[in-house]
Amino acid sequence: MTAQLEVSKATLVENAEFSLTSRDLAVITRIMLKEAGISLSGAKANLVYSRLAKRVRKLGLGSFSEYCAMVESDTGTQELGEMIAALTTNVTRFFREPHHFEHLREKVLPGLMAQARAGGRIRLWSSACSSGPEPYSMALTILNVMPDAYRYDVKILATDIDPNVLATGEAGIYEESALEPVPMGLRKTWFSPLNDGSGRMRANDELRGLVSFRKLNLIGSWPMRGKFQAIFCRNVVIYFDSDTQEALWSRMMPLLEENGALYIGHSERVSGPAEALLANDGITTYRRRRNGELK
């Protein structure tokens, strides 16, 4: 018993400024799974330490045990959000996995844009949008085939759990180097230099107007009622355990219109009952089957 206690108190990161014990790591792992669906299993002590040490320092705390106690206290809600933001991976880029945007342009948008011109309601969802390159790449693909799309009822919902990345997306300001994957013609038409000497570029009003950024936890409740003609859910379920992944795909199905497109990340796969409702339509690309219901 004493030996066990000693083990749980021992710090997992040598010569560190703050002690991080296996018990702290277990608490953080449990919170991340419950609150964000994120599985930190494999106990990545160094990763957890490096991402959260600045929070412990900023709050003037002496150890990760104090930090865990704070996050779990009645007044810990705000810090819980900071913790989730610090432990999520936000890597993204414009036109990442370009075959998805080719599929959208060639197979999905021609029909949808005709519908939009006839007064139809067109909705696309970027469900883990990070700092915005994914939903803006969707919007740029739309503007490429229909440059006046912003005059119609065409909208992209861009959601993420992390308010910091949403603020970047909302501002629509990026380093010029980040825009390299954007074809020059689109870059020149839909972005303008910021003129503050920083060399950064800002998405123009029309481009920003197509995208609405909202905070949404994929494992929480969803306010959306209307269906989407395309859903991008890319490079996020890899952080979830298999039960959470299955449940998420099942929840998405009623929100995907018949024949609607689902795009997932290169190392991800659809699992569980949703699989039977989807037909493969290219690399990590699916279409919602007609007349399919979840059993």
Residue ranges of the annotated binding site for S-adenosyl-L-methionine are 90, 92, 96, 134, 160, 217-218, 234-235
Distance CA 68, CA 27 (A): 7
- 166 in contact with ligand SAM (CB under 6 A): no
**Cβ closest to ligand SAM, residue 163 vs residue 209:** 163
Q: How far is the CB of 158 from ligand SAM (least distance, A)?
A: 10
Beta carbon of residue 124, minimum distance to ligand SAM (angstroms, whole number):
13
151 is catalytic: no
Q: Is 99 in the site for ligand SAM (CB under 6 A)?
A: no
Residue of 51, 105, 187, 202 marked catalytic: 51
For residue 91, state whether it binds ligand SAM (rule: CB under 6 A).
yes
Supply φ then ψ for residue 291, to 5 degrees: 60, 20
Q: What x-and-dash track marks residues 4-43 binding ligand SAM by CB under 6 A?
A: --------------------------------xxx-----
Applying CB under 6 A, among 27, 128, 154, 157 the residue interacting with ligand SAM is: 128
Amino acid type, 76: G
Residue 236 near ligand SAM by CB under 6 A: yes
Q: How many residues bind ligand SAM (CB under 6 A)?
A: 24
Question: Judging by DSSP bridges, how do beta strands 201-203 and 154-160 pair with one another?
Answer: unpaired
Task: Note whether 50 binds ligand SAM by CB under 6 A.
Answer: no
